[in-house]
Amino acid sequence: MKKIHLNIEDIFNLPTAVIYNPDKFKSIYHVSIDSRNIKKNTLFIAIKGERFDGHDFIDEVVKKGAAAVIINAKSFREIKNLDFPVITVKDTTIALGDVAKLWRSKLKAKVIGITGSAGKTTTKEILATLLSEKFKVNKTIANNNNHIGVPLTVLSTNEKHNVLVAELGTNHFGEIPYTSAIVSPDLALITNIGDSHLEYLKNRKGVFTEKSALLKETMKCGGKVFINNDDKILKEFGKKIKSKITFAINEKADFKVSIKGYDKFARPQIEIKSKKNIFEATLPISGEKNVLNFTAAYAIASELGLSNSQIQKAVKKIKSYNKRLEIKNLKKFTLINDTYNANPDSMKSSIDILNKIESRKRKIAVLGDMFELGNESKSKHLDLANFINKTKVDEVYSIGKMMKLMNQKLNGKTKIHQHFAERESLKNFLKKLEIKNSVVLVKGSRGMKMEEFVSVLEIR
């Protein structure tokens, strides 16, 4: 099997590139921005980050045997030894994306792009698990879904892979158009359009404008898009698309899923109907949102030729993912660790799961602020209070400036609610809180570091 590599002609095609010592250039089989990961035939791209500047490690990577380096043109004078290939560019971060585009053009793997306001990481993980029953799969690791992480994910894909499942994230306009052009997807999915990153994307229309760039790039490449028909914005957009596959719980769709019930841990029993067949399973992950996430993954897996028996086998390997609705049934209580991030839709979804779990009697929510909501922040937190007031949640303990407003609006079925101004106060309270026979949800935005409260509860 011929290894994917970059040659001197590829490098000449890099925008703004000037190559010094091209006669010493050797084919590139690996690309890295980390000086610790240099091996033979590696191209090192010097990226300037918040904590480190790759240009400070040029001598080190050369000693380790890097085949060539890409640096910012302004740093060229600082390079003392020119006895190896040096490529200068106007901006090394942009060059990383350009190199990834070249690499992508050589891939034979099917490339799947996934984005959305919520559920994109879970859907990526589910899909990668399903497809691994038939294919050699590469996927976005952790949360490497930005302008740096997406190119690195593409560059980590090689000739041995049949499929790449790439997650694309954003919180500013222009990020999805940029990374979509690098990924050039064969298939693409937007999980949903919700109230995420409103501080920068303004409203759901702005969120859609940004996210839809993935679908537009896919269609431009002649690929196929998957549409969530339960999302009004996506359904409307899908009406204009000929080559599409739809999925839904409530609306008509090519892959129509129904929830037959839930077990005592809120794990859904589902049935998916399509033209070809009927698929039934009890999912090992909880919540209605995850039903749609799974259905999207099932639709893509079916499109790529997986059989029901292969998917059924893979379902047993699906698990909750780190800090994303991670449910632990401990000796005295059940803990829902959903601390990775939060927006209004995911917050309501998590509280819905808290309500559905019947294995424990008391329902307790420990909630932190939702960030990046801009001018909508106050109204979205107050709306959350109205939502909680209609649920079976018994106790709510909150922290954060916006959650203080939310807490003040709680009434009705929520018997006990208390706001904490200091983190230590909440920690000390949770250490002493009686939680026997309870389900405890901990959730908030990334910056709230809600995992610290999980740690307090786990040692109870």
Q: What is the pLDDT of residues 161-202, one digit of tens each?
A: 999 999 999 877 889 999 999 999 999 999 998 766 666 666
Q: Label the pairing between strands 326-329 and 333-338.
A: antiparallel
What radius of gyration, in Å, describes the C-alpha atoms of the chain? 24
- pLDDT beyond 70 at 81: no
With contact defined as beta carbons under 8 Å apart, do 435 and 460 qualify? yes
For residue 28, what pLDDT is reported?
Answer: 96
Using the predicted structure, report yes or no on whether residue 80 has a pLDDT greater than 70.
no
For residue 25, give the amino acid letter.
Answer: F
Task: Give the sign of the dihedral formed by CA 420, CA 425, CA 428, CA 429.
Answer: negative
- Arithmetic mean of pLDDT, 388-403: 96
- Identify which of 281, 433, 286, 453 has the alpha carbon closest to the alpha carbon of residue 355: 286
Residue 419's DSSP bridge partners are 398
Q: What is the mean pLDDT of residues 390-409?
A: 96
CB atoms within 10 A of CB 9: 7
Strand partners, 53: 48
Compare 240 and 137 and report the one with higher pLDDT: 137
pLDDT mean over 10-31: 94
- Whether 299 and 112 have beta carbons less than 8 Å apart is answered as no
Angle, in degrees to the nearest 10, between helices 344-356 and 377-389: 10
Residues linked to residue 418 through DSSP beta bridges, in sequence order: 397
Summarised one tens digit per residue, pLDDT across range 304-347 is 999 999 999 999 999 888 888 999 999 999 999 999 999 999 99
Q: Specify which of 21-25, 115-119, 238-242, 250-254 reaches the highest per-range mean pLDDT.
A: 250-254
In this model, does residue 160 exceed pLDDT 70? yes
pLDDT on residue 199: 63
Which domains does the chain show, CATH number per domain? 8-94 (3.40.1390.10), 107-315 (3.40.1190.10), 326-458 (3.90.190.20)
Beta bridge partners, 113, equal 166, 188
- Tell me if 113 sits within 8 A of 185, measured CB to CB: yes
Identify the pLDDT of residue 413.
Answer: 74
- Percent residues over pLDDT 70 in the chain: 98
Report whether 381 contacts 348 (CB < 8 A).
no
Say what the pLDDT of residue 161 is.
98
Which pLDDT tens digit goes with each residue over 194-239? 766 666 666 888 788 889 999 999 999 999 999 999 999 999 999 9
Give the pLDDT band (50/70/90) at residue 82.
confident
Task: Give me the pLDDT at residue 222, please.
Answer: 94
Mean pLDDT of all residues belonging to the chain = 93
Question: Is 86's pLDDT higher than 90?
Answer: yes
Q: How far apart (Å, rounded) are the C-alpha atoms in residues 243 and 18? A: 42
Which is nearest to 115 in space by CA: 32, 197, 33? 197
**What's the pLDDT score for residue 78?**
76
